[in-house]
Structure 1
């Protein structure tokens, strides 16, 4: 990326033309008509057509999925806005690397390769209520780092983030992207105490006031209010579109990352689907803004890639009718 105006390179890439192969999608729908009445397969058929189009092949198939987990830390987490801590982020990363996390078992079950990307966990971003989370150069470099999830040529990417305070940072970015009050976008799931929610609202309000002159541009909103995890997800989403790799979002934070890309170019998230919807009202609102319908409604309250990993299994199932009968041992 150029040193002078690094964000210009990001915008240019987000606007670079890329499209699915509509012929491959049509082959899915034609095949479905041969299996039953139109619409019989519901969202499963739609998912298969989406996969075929963006993989640009028929039949659609998932042979090398990557579960990309971005882990970071936030200075705002020390202000009473989260139930977890930067230390717990390190513990989660270690558990994933060592195969001890529940997510490790789910990924193995669905055949996904977990890749954990550490984003300076031991160096939290500044408190966004007081200063910008990143410089433009750092933000652009972190976006570029997100391109690394495409190494190894995966045919599907499932996103996840781990980081104490990421939900508050994402809520602040949502305020900048969509307007509305901090109270609206901070709205948590059922597990967050009222006092903590009030502190989140206060921190987001302060952050919006501190950076009010920089929030009309989505990349500036990311730089000032977001975090390294969001920036890396933005990079992955943009790069995946260029390479014809479908992307599955996890929870609220990854949805807001897609929202940043959408704000740059609404066509730049056509290759993206939402795995699920959490019980967090702000997640529902963000999906509505992007016109994304979740593949599942599992009532997950955990993040970190759990929902997107489970969705990989669902997408395997969506591909199955087009792959012929599996080999079975003689009986």
Structure 2
């Protein structure tokens, strides 16, 4: 897999050292600028083409009462996305992102993971390819989001399989479950792990047995972006869980990723620690859709503006540090 351009990072860091500010005074904005320089291969990176992709899929496990919303909401929200009326539409417009909506076989929910593999090998491969194919190779930065009622349950199962623990360690309230609902979710995750655990041979098998179409598609998009040297803003718990099986086997796979935020879903902070990613924002968000990443994209724009537009000490005729 491609690595960040160390030469571009070094030149960008040298520029940062000459800008009219105390060294390090812009904190993580400086880190973002260097990160973007490394993956763009340019001293002064631009954000001319920001892409957001929302993948949608339906889950058979939703019938187990693991969500506060009925399964038909997935299709209804996809319609809302297309009409421009969802939170992600507003946030994408605000941050200047081109938003792509990719529903995947919404008329065919995956199998209930507590009783069968979520997908066949062919279905999982189709979803992975749908994710990879949705990435625009012209993008300077990508964020991925999802819509799928019940999908925090397979996300919790993927995290447990990848990094250890059980349902109680990874399953949270999702879209607003009450205590009995969380208990049902914990039980379903544990049943899925018991059923599939011994048969999971590799990350692909984890995704097909425990995941979902939109989850596999996000993983496909993230991996494809690495091959294209496109940096990625990871959204919340489910987006990060999509890459968990691969990251457990190949920790470097997220080198081109930044964590947009730490969501209010209980397992997200633990997952980010396993991924070695420090979130840019803590806003208690738990919507999904790529919403947290769209907000964080504005931080990236701010970081690149400061990096590109500030004068150097020499240009401004300002004395540097003693």
TM-score by length of 1: 0.90
Of 113, 121, 139, the residue aligned with 1:154 is 139
Q: Distance in 2 between matches of 1:44 and 1:97?
A: 33
Of 234, 245, 249, the residue aligned with 2:230 is 245
Shift in CA distance, 189/232, structure 1 to aligned 2, threshold 3 Å:
closer
Map of 1:5-84 to 2, 5 A cutoff? 17-35=1-19, 36-84=21-69
Unaligned residue ranges in structure 2 (runs of 5+):
311-322
1:113 is paired with a residue whose SS is: strand
Counterpart position of 2:213: 228
TM-score by length of 2: 0.92
- Give the drift of 1:282: 0.3
Is the 8 Å Cα contact of residues 158 and 244 (structure 2) preserved in structure 1? no
Aligned residues: 309
Deviation per residue, 1:135-177 (Å, 9 max, x gap): 1222122111111222352111111011011100010111111
Counterpart position of 2:171: 186
Counterpart position of 1:168: 153
- Give the drift of 1:190: 9.1
Q: Distance in 1 between matches of 2:285 and 2:11?
A: 34
Counterpart position of 2:319: none
Deviation per residue, 1:109-132 (Å, 9 max, x gap): 111011010011121001111100
Pair 1:318-2:291 in alignment: no
Q: Distance in 2 between matches of 1:92 and 1:85?
A: 12
Unaligned residue ranges in structure 1 (runs of 5+):
1-16, 326-331
Q: Distance in 2 between matches of 1:153 and 1:58?
A: 18
1:82 is paired with a residue whose SS is: coil
Counterpart position of 2:116: 131
Q: Distance in 1 between matches of 2:77 and 2:176?
A: 19
CA RMSD of aligned residues (A): 1.5
Q: Distance in 2 between matches of 1:102 and 1:150?
A: 21
Shift in CA distance, 304/41, structure 1 to aligned 2, threshold 3 Å:
same
Q: Distance in 2 between matches of 1:137 and 1:216?
A: 16
